Amino acid sequence: MAKDENPKSYAAMSVSDVAELLGLTDRQVRNLINDKGLPATNDGRGFVLDWPTTLEWYAGYRSTQKCGNGGNRRPETGQNDEDEQPETFNEAILRKTRAEADLKELQLARERGEVAAIADVERVLTGANKAIQTRILALPASLSTQLLGIDDRNRIFTILDRSMRELLTNLARINAIQEARAIEPESEDE
């Protein structure tokens, strides 16, 4: 919707216009119309919405949705029941103590090398993939000199079979961490 449009056009807005104003996607607005009852009329070309009515309906709809756990509800209970008692101070302290203990266990596991950061895993996998790619791409150059001038189909098959098995054996022996460390200086230069 253009910013310089006349405010009178708010009486008949498209799904795209409403989506832009509400910070939603067109599909979300259409789902609200079809599934939740957002008032709209269909003029044959698409849905037409009245902005004041739409805004009022959407505010009411959002206010009835339950988000979060109310800040002091027991996390393991799932849904917020109206008759559920708020968490007591002692229960909150116990929950906090458990969370801190879990965090300390995670830190200890990280120090022991039992846990790895996602970025480190991605770096190691990238290094291993690069090593695999390099070895596979080197195969045709290696084979071209070995196969040059050979007319015997069985001999060609034997050479190809041996080379592929050798390549696969080498790929199975790749130390991903070592390969990642070998490639690391190259990626810093780029």
10-64 has which CATH code? 1.10.10
Angstrom distance (rounded) from CA 120 to CA 113? 12
Q: Is the pTM of this model over 0.85?
A: no
- pLDDT (0 to 100) of residue 68: 57
pLDDT, mean of each 10-residue run, the chain (190 residues) = 51 88 91 92 88 89 71 53 75 89 88 82 83 88 88 92 89 70 52
Contact 10, 52 (CB under 8 A): yes
- Quickly count: other Cβ atoms within 10 Å of residue 34's Cβ: 11
DSSP string computed for 154-188: HHHHHHHHHHHHHHHHHHHT--HHHHHHHHHHHHH
- pLDDT (0 to 100) of residue 188: 47
- pLDDT (0 to 100) of residue 71: 55
Contact 56, 36 (CB under 8 A): no
Contact 9, 49 (CB under 8 A): no
